[in-house]
Amino acid sequence: MRFFLYFILSYFCLPFNSTIDFISILVYFIILNEDERFSIIFAFFAGLLLDLYYPVSFGLNMLIFLILGQILIFLKKYFVREPLTLIFIFTTFYLLRIFLVYVINGVAFNITTLISTIIFSLPIVYILNKICFSVWMRN
């Protein structure tokens, strides 16, 4: 049931993604909490949705989410899940995504989206933990 919820959330949050990058937060949450195969499939799907909805160059978001997702899957075995670590890893994940998608292509991005996404990432991850797993933080 929660897998269906992930796909529904990713589809319905696309129009609001220019204010807070909810898709990146959702991909980060899924990579941290779900199976590796499903995480990669969802990262590909989320990148495809972003490429279709916000065309920067087709396939770039898919590639970036797949590469960053694979790196995060490898690294999640080695860090402790506490708030400071989660926010640091998400900030690194998100800044790499922003750099690879927008700066390399020469497309301007909104700095308020960057700041608001980083600020609201931890509360959204906690809310998703509560909705999907009935706990505030998963170990």
Instruction: Name the pTM for this structure.
Output: 0.89
Contacts with 80 (C-beta within 8 Å, 6 or more apart), sequence order: none
pLDDT digits (tens, 9 = 90+) for 87-134: 999 999 999 988 888 777 777 778 898 899 999 998 999 898 888 888
* Helix count and strand count (H, E) for the chain: 6, 0
| Dihedral sign (CA 112, 105, 71, 50) | positive
Q: How far apart are CA 25 and CA 6, in angstroms?
A: 11
- Domain spans in the chain, listed from the N-terminal domain onward: 21-133
Would you state the pLDDT for residue 18?
78
pLDDT digits (tens, 9 = 90+) for 15-36: 888 788 899 999 999 999 999 9
